[in-house]
Every structure is written in C-alpha cells, then in structure tokens.
Structure 1
Amino acid sequence: MTTEDGLTIRAHSLVVAAVSSLVLLRLQWRAGDRKEEIQVCLGPEVSRLGLAAVLEFAYTGAVGSLNQDSVVQIQSAALALGVHRLLDLCEQEKEGKKKMEGKKEQEKNTRISAEEQLESSLQSIRLMLEERVDCDVELEARQRTFHAHRVLLAASCDYFRGMFTSGMRESKQSSVALMFVEDVELEALLRCSYTGTLMLGWDLVFDFTSTALQFQIQPALSLCLEFLHKEIHPQSCLDVISFAEAYEMGELRELAEDFVLRHFPEVSVTPKFQDLPVDKLLWYLQSNSLCVPSELVVFQAVMAWIQSDPRQRTKLARELMETIYFPLMTFKELKEAEAQTKWLKSNVESLYETVLEDFCSIGSNGNMQYRAYLPKDNLVLVGGEGITSDYANRKPSRALWFGNSLRNHTGIIKDVEWRTLGEMPEQPRFSHEVAVLRGQLYVAGGRHYYGREDVMNSMFRYDPLENNWRRLADMQEARSNFAMLVVGETIYAIGGDTDSEVNVDSVECYCSTTDAWRFTHPLDLALSSHAASVWQEKIFISGGFSRDCQCLTSILQYHPEKGTTHISDMSQSRAHHCMETLANHLYIAGGLSYDASSLCLDQLSCEIYDPRADSWCTIAPLPIPHVGAASCILEEKLYILGGYCQEDYNESRLVHRYDPATQRWENMGRMPGANTDIRACLLQIPSHLRK
C-alpha cells in the first residue's frame, strides 16, 4: 500500500481485506499466481496518518489516534479503502456520541469495542475461507484436502509458522501433505484456528489434544486443556493421568491425581481402578490427601482390586491391608468387611487370614487414632469474641486460626485440626468482614470494643506467602455488621451500622490497584446484620435488620450502577445468619428471627435459593443454633462455624458441615478460640507455616 507522498507499507492481504471492501474486491478479482503481491496506490486524500490508522484498526480493532484533530484524515483513508466499520467510528467521533465518564471507563469501552471489531473481522475471514478467497495453501490429510490461509495458520500454530517462515520446502509449495493426521482432527483444528471454538467430548479430546500438542496449535490446545480441567469425572480421571504421563504434562497429571484422591470413593468403583499398578495404588492409599468418609471405603477398594486378579494379587494383601486403619472402623463396619470376604473365590484363603489377623490387631496400634486429610485450601478463622454475662471480662480477639487437616476418627466422629496463624495488627475485631482476592486476605471494619465510638473503618491485607500484614486505605464509612465480598477484581462493602449505631444504605467498592475506596449506588433501604454472596458475578443480599429493627425475609439483587432489585422472599425472616454459593445455589442457614409477638428466636431452618428458577426449597435444619456464626464452602460442602444461642445466650462452640450429596449435617468438632461474630474464609497456607 503506497501513499502519493511515497510511503509504502507492507501488510497481510487477508487481514486488510477483512475490513476493506477495496482490498477484498482486488483479492476476488486477482487471477494467476496468488503469491503475486497486490499493489494498492492511494490518492492524495489518504495521508500517512490515515493509512496508519486503517492498518491499526485492521490488526487491533481499535484506533488510538482517533480524536477531533485526526478524524478528518482517518475518515478520508477509510472512505478510500472502503473500511465501513471505521467510517462508523469516525461519524461517532464527529458527532460526539461517545461520552466517557473518565479514563477508566474510556479504556473499558475501547477494549470492548476492539473485541467486537476483531470478531467482525474474523467473521469476514471465515466467509473468505468458505468462498476460497485468497486461500494460498492446501493441506492434504489421509482422505481429504482442506483449503486455508498461510498467514492465519502461522498466527495460530507454531508448527505452520516454522514451516512457512523459515525457508522450508513447504513454504514455496501450494500443497502440504499431512498424511499422519486424521481428517476429522485436522478439520476440527482448522475450524478452531478460524473460529476459536472446538466441539469436544471424551471420545475426541485426547486425540485432539495430542494433535494440538504435535502442531502446537495454541487456541485448540488451550480449549482441550480447559475441557480436561473442567469436565474431569471419576470415570475419566485415570485416563487423564495416563495421557498426561505419556505426554509429560505435569500440571495436568497433578490435577487429575488430586481429583482421584479427593473423589476416591467414586473412582475406586470404576473398572479402570482395577487396572492400577500396585505402586500407584499404594501411593494413593498412603497419601495424606486421600479423602474417604470411612475406612470401610478403603477396605472395599483394596478388596475389589485384589479380586480382579486374585492369583497374582493375593500375595500383595499384607502390604495393602497395612494402609487401612482398621481400629477406626465401627463394629458394624468390621462385620460388613468380614462379610465381603465370604464371596471371594476359594483360592484366596491366605487373604482371608490376613484380614482376620488385622481385625484382631484392633487397638494394638496406638498411632491409629484418626486418618488425617490435608485439604488444598485451608479454612481460616479471623477475630471474633467470646460471650460472657460480665462485659468487663469479655475480650474481642485478634487471633487467626487455620484448619490444617480434617480428621476421621472411629465411625462418624470427625473434627478439624486447628492451628494458630498469628494475630491481626493493632486492635481486635468482631462484627467485621473478610474477603479474599488473588490469594490474599482482606480484613475490614467491625468493632474493637463495645462502646458507641468503637466501630472501625480501617482495612488490612494479609499475604500468606510472605506471612505479613499491610495497612490499606480506610473505608469511607465506619461499618460493623455489614457484608463484604469480591466481584471480579473489586471488593464491595455493603450496608452495616455505624458509630451512631444507625443502619446505613451506602455501598462502597475498593480497587486494589489504586488502593482507594469509592461509593457506588446505595441500597434502596438501610441494612445491618444481613448476608451477601456472589453467583455468576451477581451480588445477592439476604435478610438483616432494617433501620426500624424489623427482621427481614427479603432477597435483593444488587448492581453497583443500578441499585437493588427485589426477588422472591425467603420463607423465614433472619438476621446474623450465613449465606454461601454452592453448585449454582445460594445456601442460607442459621441466624435469628422474630415471631409474631416480636420475641427474638433462634433460626434453625435452612433454605436454598435457585437464581435461575427464582425458587426456594428447604434442607435439613441445623442441629443447634448458630447466631453470628462464620461460614465457608470447602470442597463443595458448607461449613457453619461457631456463633451463639439467642434463647439462652450460650456460645455454640461446634462446627457443622452440610454435605449436599447426603443432605445431612455433620459434627466437625469444636471451635479453637473465639466463637461469636467471627468470620471465615479459604486461603492456601504455605507448607512451611503448616509444619
């Protein structure tokens, strides 16, 4: 492309034709050798600035230099080259239709616009492929031949980039033979290069991943790995491990092995589990990340593995049985285990004797008091207080605790192994809030004591990798009994009560990049002691107290720019309760409520809200009251931690866990320190702090 003043710029015809009707027409009319370059000589109306803007738009979808001073030159170039989408942008600029509210909003709109423009360009390129416009290479698979554009193949695939740009013989050929690739694989991977999409299933994903690795087609490889990460299940995880080992994909192998350990009961009953080599089976059984509800599950897995080839595997029984904690079985489980040996074939008498010998050794090993399971993420408890009738002896807490392991004791007895993580800086906190962003803990607001002026607006950040705290910008309003959560990269502080013990409707958000808070759209009513959670980037707020101390049944959906929308109410009023998002549902548990005579009562009922259907259902009630408790989701189970009983004002020192699979609450042991107005979150605690 040459301007009248002598500037010559070389560009890719496919990219420019995707936006320029003039260049597209030249490509459609071009005859003969497609390697011959197209010469576009532009008239005096096209300046250097205008041509540069057209090319920037073709390659990026945006024009950074478009403003009131340059719009005429850019418009002239766009008109000469037939770049209609750029002409539309010039018209918008001239008419002043783009009204930005600040630099940040302008960058956001520019980014979104660029993505839309690039998608339109890709649609044009796909149409050119269908019409075989400017297709300059043929790819020969085993039975079919596919037409394509070299520049697009080189852009999306390291293999073709090397082939077409390094002087290889194929760089000068119009046809490239790929006889080692199946037709269906090459067609799908080519489609991915042009569309960014890939139709995947377990019948195809391993072949597609292998081919994408071989050709280093990054878009397809990313989609394949995303599928393997998100869609892995008990029937496929062992195949994923074998594939990852064959192709030396360490991260994928670790993910799949972690899945096996954390879903061991489901994996152990699949046919592929019986094909495991003994060393791999032992590695799973001896891992401290093995998650099982009871030792009977481990016993059944071992027996099924031996039974699949008893002649060869009976001799390994002793070594395998040593991984089972028989003393943790109940008498009923022992009887069930013994019964399962009776249907084995007669040639496993030695195995049966081994099992009986281990049964008889119950209690002989004093170290077998529990099986410890180390979760990847750790429950962390922050601050809180202890309840006593004497306010003078009440002491808010600065302590942080983390759950190092989950322990299975005999039968259904379980607990959390709590360890100290240090203390918050400066003052203690209760009725505060916590949030986790990029693996770091944010602690804000709350009270440090019981006076009217003891509500705080300060915020600190804890980095578990560095094991240190940093003071951050204060909230614009002091808050306690509020809600705080993360949406994307932004932290929101919602409602609460202030120094004057008055509920507020204000909402503010925190940007970690600028270390600054700013107010967003307020709620349509003042709230305190409410709960909030996020589902699909949407904020939901439940219950709480209104400014006139009414305990509410309402559920609100909050938008930072539009405010609140009322949706279907809860069946019960509640405040000082918990709400968490799990498996596309909002789980609401605990708290207190008022009866018809305005008597304050413990709220044991629990409800689930489905945002997609805007509907409610109930689940099993809590075993004991949990008012002012902490809550968290760990490995697809809901934890309710601590709190107190409103009716007798005694502390609830227990941890309860709800498992959606069994629809039951489990007792997970006792709290380690403060119990009331405490907060919980998940962090990954470094190994050196867990020792």
Structure 2
Amino acid sequence: QIGDHKFSAHRIVLAASIPYFHAMFTNDMMECKQDEIVMQGMDPSALEALINFAYNGNLAIDQQNVQSLLMGASFLQLQSIKDACCTFLRERYDREQRGPCLPELLSNIRLPLCRPQFLSDRVQQDDLVRCCHKCRDLVDEAKDYHLMPERRPHVPAFRTRPRCCTSIAGLIYAVGGLNSAANFYAGDSLNVVEVFDPIANHWEKCHPMTTARSRVGVAVVNGLLYAIGGYDGQLRLSTVEAYNPETDTWARVGSMNSKRSAMGTVVLDGQIYVCGGYDGNSSLNSVETYSPETDK
C-alpha cells in the first residue's frame, strides 16, 4: 500500500524477482508476517509497474515515468531496471539541454581532488566537456593542481578542501554489520571493526567490539566512537560501547532505555540522540538522548 493505492501480489513472486522483498520476506523483519505492507517514498504508478514486471518481465519506459521508475528501482534494488532507466535518460537527454548547466555544475565539484587518471580518462573525454570552453578550463585547472603545485594557491579554496569528519579527521570506520555480501538483511552479525585511511589507501582492523552488532547506530563525540544498540543475530540490543582510537580499546557505557536496531543516530551540541528503530516486535517512535559527561 502507498497512500490510498493498494496492490495485490504473491509474496513468493515478489521475493523471487525483487531483492528488496526477498530480504523482507526471508528474514525476521516484522513485514514478513503482515498481510499488508505500507510503503512510502515511491510513486504508486511506478510501484504498480514494477510489480507487474515481477510477474511478466515487461516494462515500458517513457519520458513521463522514467524518473519515478528510476527512484522505485533504486529503492527496490532492481539494478537491471536502474540501468535501463539511466540508458534511456542518456540517450534522450539532448546535449543542448545539458550543456548550459554543466559549467555551473562542474564549478561546484572538487575536481582538483580527483585522481589525475580519472580526470584524463573520464572527465576530459566526455563529449559535453570537450565541447564546452568553460568546462575545459575547469578540467585544466584541476590538472594543473596536480602538475604544477606552485599554482595551487590560485585555485579557489573550496575546490581543494576535502569533505571530512572533524571529530576523527580523515578516517572512515566500518563498524559491525553482516558477513553476507549477497543480501543486505542476511548473514551473521559481526563484532569486526575496520578503519580506512584515504591518504594511504589502506584498510586495517581495529580491536573488535565486545558484542556483535548489525544495524547498529554509530556516533562520534569528543574523539570517541560509540556503537549503539543493534542486532546480535538473536536479539535487539540496548547496550552501548565506546571506542578510543588512541588506545584501540572498547569500553561499555550507559545503556539505552529501549532495545533498538536500525535507528537514526545524530550528535547535537555534544549529546547523542537516537530516534526510532525496531525492537524486534514493532517500529519505534521514541527518542533517547545520551550525555557522555554524565554517562546517562
């Protein structure tokens, strides 16, 4: 169901044809036991077309439905439909329509931070870039950034400033998760933690968490990384642990009041907020906040 629109379908057909529903119906999500599934964020006509595609393998893409089908296919993880929509757009989106917008778009991209090979092999070779004087100037500026370091002070600062977390600068942490690459919802929950250094282009393992956690909330406050709640493969969790990158150690901190996984997690004014999630029986609308100073 989407809004007032309802569509009937067989679970086995949806699970066999659409990865999103396969994950939903073959795991412990609450929807697998419901007779009616409420969905949001999709155009009803796109969902109907994609359900029909699951039955007959036919789908008509046109200028009126291509955007809604692309969004729906992305949501339902239908890669072949996504590719077909992208091909349709590439073939029909006329050069005159894209050309005037491209210089403005490229001027807001950090091209100097792209790899030189990518600039030469991909960006510079694009037909629209080659036909646009302003675009070529932007690409040349980015190439000069790599070839002539002495000219870097003349490049606008915002185009050379990396986007990165300011709390644990420059590093990307992968915390817990599942060990199956084939299905987002399948596999065993992990306690593994890895860190990626973009400068060295290298991953390395950190000390593992004390508890396996998938669908875990993660937040960074005062240089500590917090792993919040999640699912250990059997139960939803209320426990929280904090990682200190300097000592490569985990320590338990105050638990949440509710068990929850797949929740929204955000930091505001030094406080961690967790919103919603799933407790194993139902989706939650409750919100909790944690203060690192008081450990509550």
TM-score with structure 2 setting the length: 0.45
Question: Which has more strand, going by share of residues?
Answer: 1
Computing the radius of gyration from Cα coordinates, the structure with the larger value is: 1
Q: Which has the higher contact order (CA 8 A, sep 6+)?
A: 2
